Each structure stands twice: as structure tokens, then as C-alpha cells.
Structure 1
Amino acid sequence: MKKLSIIALLMTVIGMLLWQPQLASADELTGHSHEKGLRYLISKNALVKDAKGSYRPDANVTRGEFASYLTKAMNLEATSDIVFKDVPDTYVHAKDIKLAASAGIITGYGDGSFKPNAAISRQHMAVMIERAINYLNIPKGTSSITFKDNAAILKDYRQAVAIGAQLEIIKGANGYFMPEKNATIGQASSFIVRLMQLAGDPDAAEPNGGNSNGGNSNGGDTNGGNTNGGNTNGGNTNGGNTNGGDTNTGSSKYAVKEISNGTLVGNQGFSTFEAAEKAVTKNTQVIVQSDKIVKMSSGYVVTNNYVALKSETINDSLGVAANTEMEYLSSDATQVKVRLAGQVGYLKHADVTLIPFSMSKGRSYYENVNGEIKHTLYDYNTNKYSSSYVFGKAPSFMKQGEKYYSWDGIYFTNGNGSSKGEAYNYYQFLPARAQTQYTAQELDAYIMNKLAEVESTGVSSYKDATKKSKLIGLGKTLKDVEEKSQINAMLVLALAQHESAYGMSNQAQDLNNLFGLYVTDTNPKNKKFDSVVDNINELVEKFLQPNYITPGGSTGKNFANGAVVGSKALGFNVKYASDPFWGAKIAGHYYRAEKALGFKDAKNPYTIGITTTTGLNVRTGAATSFSPLFTYARSGMPVIITSSATNGWYEVLSDKLYTGKAFVSKDYVQVINTVK
């Protein structure tokens, strides 16, 4: 018996020695620098083996894959009718892409595509990560963190990179971020596991606070993942309120407070939004969640970051820049209903700040300065007035010394909210088919004078502008475009001046790109043009002509919201730029050129009308018996009227490239008085 016991013991020891090395079976991920993140994605069923049985940790991650990883890690479920033309239902990640788009985590290109199979760069990932941070309500501040190659990061993306770095989600190497470098599946997994650690996902937490995967290359996630910090902040996934987010409210999630002398007082706590809502009895009361106002009786809304607003008004998604003021309509526990220049839609609480009028420290405003309309902008990050621009003559109702406010740049009120007047800036609402009266020689002379002016400011970016600017000598090209394509030469010049910093931007100098083509808030593409002439032709032939001017568009997405630079209410600005004042700023360039050259266009102006109905046909003759040339799908479209009404019809310039005459029923067009 004793011998048998000894033999059994020896067999046990030998068995343990033989088995111990296989406790954790080695695979291609064992010891990988991003092992923790990769195994996290596997646990979420986000990462699967390919046909060869590999997880491909060092392969470039695609846009579709990264969207899928985020969707599964965040357990996104709510969906909407957002679709991309190159993501069919049969695409492997189609459902996840739709869920991520519905949550506002991803957006597509201007032509309605998503390009799911394209490799994603590190800066693109940073933007999506920032949106995920907002969606998950992870606390963040305004970060000043920069990398040695910060200048290589697209300007609009630097905030996203800085915030990600501050939260230690994003890591660089030797002080460099390498923004344009394509990210690998392994790197993507590390970004996501760090994100979900901060969100409090227990599957992402470091075991016992240790770094079981040798994760120095994972950015020191051992202590930053925050077995302590991650769980303490874990409640932030739900707003951080379950465990006493509001002072003196115990376990309450919401509080009702009152506005008194511009501050919030009181702290009546409630466990649900609905209960707090029932307790509000006065217009001076607001509902607060984690010191953030989530419901008020009146005020305005400011975007915290770039957002995609799905407009119910025109059934389209609009890009909107950070720091944009909108009308507040209503809100519930999950979203805020807003109106931007007449476009009604919904945004998540994480994307916006609600400001009651009585708590406002400053707002963007308009004023009459020596007969010109000046727009002064307010920066809500610094709580200071940041910049201003002049874009035309002031309307007659504007008195000097008074401030005026407008949601759309058309209808203006005073400080009390009383209506003061309606004004259409001529250059902002002048249809693109207009022709400028200036010659190529006059345009060239103006360009050189303007370049000398900006060069004289001493600003380093304008050094040697009169020698290096890509605008030099473009007069003939612009007039040729006007003749061939029927697009105003001065309008194209104004657009180029604004988008290229007078031909001196890096994109203009290095890529011959005067118009920011293929550069959006989420998907920059550094396409190089052989010449600025090629760049102008591409603007006209692939953007303005087919999609922004011709009604209906040609890409399946209707970008033609009026053939004017306009605003977020109508015109190119609805879809072309996220800056809601982009159209007004373009108009300002046109106005300053006019001012320098003697107002030839303003002294012999076009008559402009606005359509008043949807489904309005523009016909080849002045009767319903003539065939429609095209149809305006929406109302409020600007048209140039070239002759007085005949038999109830106006002759107009066609928004569709067409050399014949076009007519529209007088009953559905209202002539407007423009300020010029």
C-alpha cells in the first residue's frame, strides 16, 4: 500500500509537470503587444478568425471593421433609417455599421458612401473614439495635450486626438502620434479596450489591477485601466448619477433646480426623469443630471463637438460644427429636440449643452457697423467673444449700437426676442448661374491687391503671398468656367479665397486643392491635383454642377438645397460645410471684392425670387403643356428672374445646365428684396 501511494504521488507530480506548460495554450496572440485588446474583442464576438484561421492582428483595420468593433463593444442596439450607398444589407458588417451610424459614432462621405473596406487612419479612429466617449458619457475636459507631429493632424481632428490622449485611450510613440498612418487591428483593439475600461465594462478591466499581457506597449494600462479608477468612473456609462452624482441628492439620478441670479440653487432629487419632470412647476426651474442641464423651459443649445443632425425637415443628415448655437425645442431623458436654421432634428445630451437665456454669459450677435453688417461669434469653450466678420451692407432696420440675433441669418430679433426684420444678403442668396460683370483682368488685379493686403499683415502663413499664392493668374480660368459651366466666376473665387486662405493653405500649396475637396470632418483624403485648373474643374464637374446646383443631384443623395452659398436653411451650406456661417463668410469675400472694384454687380443686380411650394416644375415654356425641365423637390429655392411675368409665368435662369429659356409659375414664386 505504501509503495502504491508513493507511485501514485510520483505519477501526480509527473502529470503536473507535463501539464503545467499547457495551462494557457499558446496561439498567435500570446505575447502580442496588443494581446489584451485582441482577446477583449474576441470575447465580444467582434473579432473572428479569417479563412486561414488567423485573427490578423498586424493587418490594417478597415473602416467597416472598426465600426463593427465599436458597435459590439458598446453593445449598440438602437437603429434608424441611415443608409450608405456602398454598404448593402449583404455586407458582412452592414448591421453594425448601421447601428454605429444611428448612434452618431460614424458618418459617411459627402456622396453618401461609407467606404467600409478602406483602411482607417489613426486620426480617423480618434474622431470615432471621441464620439464614443460622448455617447458613453465618459467625463472629459478640454485638453491641451499635443504631439510632436501635431501640425500633421488635421486641424478639426486635434481636439479628438487630445481628448483621447488625455484619457490615455490614445497613445503615440516617442512623442509622435502619426495621424495619417493606417492603424492595425491590434492597435484598434487597444484603443477600444481602453475606452471600455473607462466606461466600466468589467470584461475590459485589468485582472487584479495587473498587466497580465506585458502591456507596456498597450500604454501602461495596468494602472490606467484603472481597476480602481475604471470602476469608480464606471457609473459614468449611465451618467454617473446612480451613486450620488448630484450633491445632497443621495442615490437620486436627477435633480430639479431653480435659476436665481444666473446660477442654479436647490437640489430636489428624483430617481427618474419622469418624476423630476412632474415636479417642475415654474419656468425658472430646470432638470439637472450630474450638474448638466437636461431640460429647461426656454433657452438655446450649443454643440460640444462636431455632430450629424438628422433633419426631419428635409429628411437628410447635416454636418454641424462644434460651438454652433441652435434653438431649443424640448428634451427628454435621452435626447434634445433642436432647430437649426429651420431644420428640426434630435441630438444626444452628450453632444450638446443646454443654456437657459437667463444663464447666458454671451451669444453670437449681429450689428450695424458704419452701414455694414458685422457678425461677432462667441466661443463657449473659453466663454469669450472669439472672432467676427463683415459680409455685406446692413439692412435698413438695423440701428447702430444695437445687437441683433438670428437663427438663420435671414430673420432677426433684438435682445428681447422681438422680431425686427427680414433680410436676404445679396451675395449669400445670389444663385450660382449669375454672371459677374468683372473681366479676367479685373479679377487678376483684385487678386494681386488682396494678396498684397494679407501679406502686409505680417502673419507668417501669408509670407510671400504675392509670389506663392495659388490664386495668382486665375482670372481667365474663372471666366472660362463661367462661360462654359454657367457658374459665377466671382463666386468661385470667393469660395477659393475662403477655403484656401487666399491660396496659401497647406492643401493649396502642396496639393493644388483650393476648395477642401475630399476633406470632411470625418474623412480627409489628401488627393493631389496636377494643377489648380484641374482642381477647379473637379469642383465644378464633380461637386457643384451635378450635386449642389442641379436639382435632384446625381448620387442618390439630394445635395441641391438651392443654388446659392446660403446657410443651414438653404443652399450649398446645408451639406457642403459643417460651419453654419460658411455661406455668409463666402458672401463676405464676394462683398469685399465688390467694394474694392466699385460694386459693378450690385449696381446692376439680378432679381431673385424664392419658391413657395414643394414639387414645383420648371418648364421649357410658359404653360403647363410644356415639358418639365426639372422639379424643385422642396420649397424655399432661390431663382433668378430674368423677365417680368407673362401670362402668369416668370422666365428664369435654369439651375440645370441649359442654354434655352426656362419658366416657372408666378403663383409659386415670391420676389425678395435683397440687401446689397
Structure 2
Amino acid sequence: MLKKITIFLFSIIFILSIGTNTSFANDISNHQMKFELTYFAEKGVILPDAKGNFNPNSAVTRGEFASYIARALELPDSTKYTFSDLKQGTREAQEIQNAAGASILGGYADGTFKPNQKITRQQMAGMLYNALRYLDVPLHQAPLTFKDNNKIDNSFVKAVSTSVYYNIIRGAHTANGVYFNPGDSATKAHAAAYLYRTLEVAKNTDGNQNNNTGNVDSSKYYIGKVTNGVVSKNPTIYTTYEQALSALNASGNLNLIFKGDNIVKMSSGLAYASDTTAKTTSIYEDKTFKKQITYTQLGRELKYNGTSANGDYVIVQLGDVVGYAKPSAVTLIPTDLIDGRDEYYIEDSMLVHRIYNHSKKAYEGKYSVGPAPKFMQSGAKYYSFDGVHFYNRNNSLVGTYFPYFQFASVRLPSSYTASDLEKIIMAELENRQAFGGDQYKNATTKSKLIGLGKTIKSMEETEHINALFILAAAIHESNYGMSTNAQTKNNLFGIQVYDSNESLGEKYATPADSVKAFVQRYMNKRYVPQTAVYPFGAVPGNKTTGINVYYASDPHWGAKIAGHMYRIDAKYGLKDYGKSHIGMVPTGTGSVNTRLEASTNSGIAFTYRQKWTGESKEFGYPVAIVEETIGSDGYVWYKVYSDDPSIAKFVWIRGDLVTVLPKY
């Protein structure tokens, strides 16, 4: 140990003595490998000659490279191996012996090492391979696709393969393809770069890698493929996405483009939200990310529709809307690497959604939406990005189903009275206390839902927001009134609580004040009427239509609320389910007027604005139809609950402007 410290101090003193040498600066400062050369020069790994020059473009010898490794790894002194052609007692001889003692290098059959022989690229790969082993780095292999594979000596194939895996020694890109040139000698600058990459791999490797992304330049592009669940990356570096795309298209058998370690283009697969800073990922209407359509939670599944020609954006589908995401905010998973995904199936005649969190790589629960549609078969699994259009394993559409409570207007009044709601609340709490575990201990006395039946019904009567919807939202957001925000802040709806900081949230004097804020400040001012901030439909909905477009980052919030509503309603008499006929007002090509009477001569009540209706063109503004008539103009007219009761309780819409959904 004393000798190592002495050598280290000597190196620092020596470097300090030449730190202002002009030839030192001129020798390295303008070199392509300036960073790596300077890094090792400052650490005393690569030493200057008598004139203070480093000669970065001169060929490096076997002895010099062995010394670089010994110094960089600070290898312990060893006398395990000696070579007949080394001058004992010299620093170089000792460093070569140290590397041999660490099993990083070996000599020739005649007992020599040949320290002055120029080292070849494959010999260098061999030493670095053994250095990785010494540093306990997993020795993964990558397929070799060089044009001159047959020139690589069999004894170095594994070493070269591992070097390619970790992008340590890369091939030379020519007009005729990529070559490794195994017998060519390398310069001191190359040696510095290869050794630096090796140390960076060791520093950043946790021993659990499952593909060959290795430690690469995160600003550069690479191409590769996935075969039988294994990702392989071509060693060639591309400065721009366009260069990588051109090479990919010319390859014929590759299907991936990487930016650094991240896949930014693939032939097929899924995407998921992966902005770990915001914990939400925004989906934009425009390619410059200025106008947001909606957003979603970290780990949530997206449909991958492609990557732009210049790599500036990824095209994804959330709900039934296709938009643009920043490449840094999503992660792409090739089809062969999909371990799990969201799935739907039938359980006890109910449609159940099992959610997969791609960030955690685990399923994190399930919920029931409502009765299973008739086209589904028991035992089969289905897949959907919007909770309405369902596909089988072959990606064939098998059916479309709009769950009633998810798309029924929240302007519809509930049949449940204040007394009914209070009884429902207490029955739900008793069930949770009995079967829900310790988190619901004393729920029948501690829950912040207790006594809210009258307040909830009063909000329905004065603010025209369905009481069962309010209760379901409170149950969902406050975990039956037992969440930390509910208990400490009387906040039953997660108001002003964000994914990036769940400890935030408004405080209320009473739980009833929280109910009033949810209905008055949020539903009636920000989400439900057409005069609201986010007027996408007066229903719980999904990420294409309804309150869920902007209210919650959870893309399944609307479906979960609908599930609570159906579960409660089914338990207490099905008083609300199917109470109204649902229609959709499509506005993909223009706005639609509502009228005070069934005639175009009648005054306009309000106008449904033009908005996204999804890829299917089916997600307009949902309305609750209560009556149908033939107007004086000969058209069918539908009487529907008004999104804005301050204007009228009911409004009329001409029949040809409404798509009527199947009766429940």
C-alpha cells in the first residue's frame, strides 16, 4: 500500500510540474479524444515523454497498454508471473507483472511478453475483457455483425463480443459496411478512449443487465434488433437520428434505433409514460409540444404508432386519441420484450380490468367496470387502450362497449335519497371494517364519509351533479374516507394533490366543505358545462371524452368511478343503471348547437365546441336522452339533460347530429 501511495503522489507532482507546458496543451487540446487523454494524463495513467508530449496518434505497445491498465485499476504488486524479456526492477516490468497477477494478460509460449510489440485491436479487446472480469462486470455477449468477422482469432471472439456489447471498441463504418479490423494496431488516443469506456462500464454496471445497451454516449444513435427476447446493438455510432434511420432502412434485418441506451424507434410494441421527474407524461396535439391534449401517470400503457422521421417526437395513442410525446417522456418496449400489459376479462359476469404498471414491471390491482358485454367469452383475455374498443391477442377488434355509468351524464339525478346515501355509506364502511384489513380499523367511527349523505344529495339538488357520482368519487379518492388527506385535511377528493408531490392538498374545515369544493369549484366551473375550463363532456369518461380527459392523471379514473357506481347501485337495487339512453354528439368536423325547443328556429341554448373524437370518431360529447320527437322541420329531435342547467334543465339536439348508442 505504501508503494501505491508513493507512485500516486509522484504522478500528481509530475503532472503539476508540466501543467503549464505549451506542448502538453498543443499535443492534446485539439485532439478528438481530448477528454479521455486529459483524464488519464491528469491521473498519471498516460505519461508524457521527455519533451512533455503525449503523442496521442502514435501506436501504443503491449507494454504501454498493460501499464495503463495497471495504473488505472491500481493493481496490487504481484510476482506471480515474470516474463523473460522484461527488465526487472523497472516500473513497466512491475506493472506488466501486476496485470498478469490479476489475470488480465498473459505472455507467449516461449515465456516472453513482447512489450515493445504494437498491440492489435483484438489483443486490446482481450485485455479489456479480462479487466472487466477483474472488476466483476457481467461478461455479456453481443452478436458480431462485422464484415471481417472471419478475421477475428477464435481466442478473441468472446472478448470482441463483450467489447461490442458494452460499446467499448467499436467498428469502423465504411461505404462497404462495418469492419472490426482485428489485426490493426491502435493509437494511444484509442487506448485512452477504450480504457475510459471500460472504467465507465464498471462504474455504472449493477450486475443485473439484461441487454447489451452498456455504457454509451447518450447523445448518439445506434441501430440494432431484438430476437427471441434478446436485444443486440450494432457498434456503429451515428451522430443524427436521420443517419441511424437511413442505416436501419438499408440493413434489411434490424428493427431498432437507440439514442444512447434508450430505444427511440421500433417495428412494433408498446410505449409507456416514463417521465420520472413530473411522474406524468403529456400528450400533445402539435409536434412542437405547445398544445397539450391530455396527460397520464408514470408507468401507464400507451399504444405506439411510430417515431417521426427526424426522431423529434413519438406518436402514441392514449385513450382513443393519437398525439405526440417527447421521446424523453416515454419508454418503448418491443413486442418480444413485453412481460405484461393491461388486460380485460370476465369475472363473475363482470368486466374486470387488471392494470399493469410498466415502470414497476408488476400488476398493481384490478377493478370491475360493470356488467361484461355479450361479445366477451369467459376465460379469454382482451386488450383495450380506451376501455371501449376491445381486441384479442391477434389485435383483431372483437367488440365495442360503452360502460353505462362511465358515459352517462352526471347531470342525471340519482334515485337515491339522502337517507339512502347515508345507509349506503355506513354499510360500505361496515364491510370495509370487517373485511378490508387494518387500514379500515374503526372505519365506522373514523371515516370522513360519515354523515355526508345529506350534503351530497343537497349538492345534486342545487348544483345538478349526480349524487351517486359524488359518492363514488369520494370513496375512490379518499379510500372510503380513511386516506391521510381525508383524515388530516378533510380533503375527500385529492384536490390540489399532485403526482409529483402527494403530500400537498387543500385543507377544509369539514368534510362537507370538501364536497362543496369538488362540486362547485371543480365540476361546475372547470369540467362539466361548455363554459368550463376543460369542457370535454359531462361524464366520468376516459382520456378522449369526459371529465377524465384532464381531471385525473390516471387514464382509468372514469372507469373506476363507473365501477364504484355500478357496484353500489347493483347492491342496493339497480335504481340508476340504464335510467337514460346515451347518445354521442360528434363534433370532429365542427361545432353543434343545442336548442331550447325542437326547432332550428328556436334560440340556441349553448354550443358543443369542436373537439377530438378519437381515432374511431366515436367519442363526441355524451348526452342523456330522455325524449324523442319529430320537429316541425321533419327532423327527429332528442331532448337531453343540459350540460348547463343555469340556461335550461333540458335542451334539444337535432337527430342527425346525435349517434345513439345501443340500449343497456
Question: Once the 2 structures are TM-superposed, how far is the Cα of residue 232 of structure 1 from its aligned partner?
Answer: 6.6
Q: 1:350 to 1:661 in 2, by over 3 A?
A: closer
Distance 1:601 1:624 in 2: 32
Corresponding position: 1:296 with 2:296? no
657, 663, 669: which one pairs with 2:645? Answer: 657
Partner of 1:145: none
Question: Once the 2 structures are TM-superposed, how far is the Cα of residue 454 of structure 1 from its aligned partner?
Answer: 1.1
Task: Write the letter of the residue equivalent to 2:567.
Answer: R
Cα deviation 1:312-332 (Å, max 9, x = unaligned): 189545231101111112224
Partner of 2:280: 307
Question: Once the 2 structures are TM-superposed, how far is the Cα of residue 341 of structure 1 from its aligned partner?
Answer: 1.3
User: Residue 311 of structure 2 aligns to a residue in which SS?
Assistant: coil
377, 386, 394: which one pairs with 1:416? Answer: 394
Q: 1:494 to 1:265 in 2, by over 3 A?
A: same
549, 564, 578: which one pairs with 1:574? Answer: 549
Task: Write the letter of the residue equivalent to 1:325.
Answer: E
Distance 1:570 1:249 in 2: 42
Partner of 1:639: 623
**Superposition RMSD on alpha carbons, in Å?**
2.8
Question: Once the 2 structures are TM-superposed, how far is the Cα of residue 661 of structure 1 from its aligned partner?
Answer: 3.6
Partner of 1:254: 221
Distance 2:218 2:494 in 1: 50
Corresponding position: 1:547 with 2:526? yes
Question: Once the 2 structures are TM-superposed, how far is the Cα of residue 525 of structure 1 from its aligned partner?
Answer: 4.6
Corresponding position: 1:270 with 2:237? yes
Distance 1:327 1:650 in 2: 36
User: Residue 515 of structure 2 aligns to a residue in which SS?
Assistant: helix
Partner of 1:479: 457
Whether contact under 8 Å (1:335, 1:347) holds in the other structure is: yes
Tell me which moved more, 261-270 or 510-519: 261-270
Partner of 1:531: 510
Question: Once the 2 structures are TM-superposed, how far is the Cα of residue 444 of structure 1 from its aligned partner?
Answer: 1.5
Distance 1:505 1:470 in 2: 9
Percent of aligned pairs with the same amino acid: 38
Distance 1:621 1:458 in 2: 51
Partner of 1:592: 567
Cα deviation 1:478-505 (Å, max 9, x = unaligned): 2211111111100100000001110111
Whether contact under 8 Å (2:272, 2:300) holds in the other structure is: yes
Task: Write the letter of the residue equivalent to 1:300.
Answer: L
Partner of 2:586: 612
Task: Write the letter of the residue equivalent to 1:668.
Answer: L
Whether contact under 8 Å (1:639, 1:652) holds in the other structure is: yes
Distance 1:405 1:597 in 2: 31
Whether contact under 8 Å (2:492, 2:514) holds in the other structure is: yes
Question: Once the 2 structures are TM-superposed, how far is the Cα of residue 298 of structure 1 from its aligned partner?
Answer: 2.0
Whether contact under 8 Å (1:255, 1:269) holds in the other structure is: yes
502, 527, 537: which one pairs with 2:480? Answer: 502
Distance 1:250 1:584 in 2: 42
Q: 1:316 to 1:621 in 2, by over 3 A?
A: farther
Distance 1:250 1:596 in 2: 58
Whether contact under 8 Å (1:308, 1:317) holds in the other structure is: no
User: Residue 405 of structure 2 aligns to a residue in which SS?
Assistant: coil
Distance 2:322 2:360 in 1: 28
Cα deviation 1:108-130 (Å, max 9, x = unaligned): xxxxxxxxxxxxxxxxxxxxxxx
Question: Once the 2 structures are TM-superposed, how far is the Cα of residue 522 of structure 1 from its aligned partner?
Answer: 4.6
Q: 1:343 to 1:476 in 2, by over 3 A?
A: same
Whether contact under 8 Å (2:542, 2:556) holds in the other structure is: yes
Cα deviation 1:10-43 (Å, max 9, x = unaligned): xxxxxxxxxxxxxxxxxxxxxxxxxxxxxxxxxx
User: 5+ unaligned residues in a row in structure 2: which ranges?
Assistant: 1-195, 205-211, 612-619
Whether contact under 8 Å (2:216, 2:260) holds in the other structure is: no
Question: Once the 2 structures are TM-superposed, how far is the Cα of residue 446 of structure 1 from its aligned partner?
Answer: 1.5
Distance 1:674 1:309 in 2: 35
**How many residues matched?**
433
Q: 1:552 to 1:232 in 2, by over 3 A?
A: farther
Distance 1:456 1:413 in 2: 38
Cα deviation 1:198-235 (Å, max 9, x = unaligned): xxxxxxxxxxxxxxxxxxxxxxxxxxxxxx99x979xx
User: 5+ unaligned residues in a row in structure 1: which ranges?
Assistant: 1-227, 237-244
Distance 1:516 1:246 in 2: 40
Distance 1:344 1:581 in 2: 17
Question: Once the 2 structures are TM-superposed, how far is the Cα of residue 357 of structure 1 from its aligned partner?
Answer: 1.9
Cα deviation 1:392-441 (Å, max 9, x = unaligned): 11111111111111111111111111011110000111111111112222
User: Which is bigger in relative contact order (C-alpha 8 A, separation at least 6)?
Assistant: 1
Partner of 2:602: 626
Whether contact under 8 Å (2:542, 2:557) holds in the other structure is: yes
Task: Write the letter of the residue equivalent to 1:608.
Answer: I
Distance 1:514 1:301 in 2: 32
Q: Could you state the TM-score of these two structures normalised by the residue count of structure 1?
A: 0.60
Pairing of 1:60-459 with structure 2 (within 5 A): 253-265=220-232, 267-271=234-238, 272-281=240-249, 282=252, 285-304=255-274, 305=276, 306-312=279-285, 315-331=291-307, 332-457=310-435, 459=437
Q: 1:674 to 1:531 in 2, by over 3 A?
A: farther
* Rg larger for: 2
Q: Could you state the TM-score of these two structures normalised by the residue count of structure 2?
A: 0.61
Question: Once the 2 structures are TM-superposed, how far is the Cα of residue 542 of structure 1 from its aligned partner?
Answer: 0.9
Distance 2:330 2:563 in 1: 29
Q: 1:283 to 1:562 in 2, by over 3 A?
A: farther
Q: 1:278 to 1:403 in 2, by over 3 A?
A: same
Question: Once the 2 structures are TM-superposed, how far is the Cα of residue 283 of structure 1 from its aligned partner?
Answer: 7.7
Tell me which moved more, 573-582 or 301-310: 301-310
Whether contact under 8 Å (1:428, 1:583) holds in the other structure is: yes
Task: Write the letter of the residue equivalent to 1:380.
Answer: H
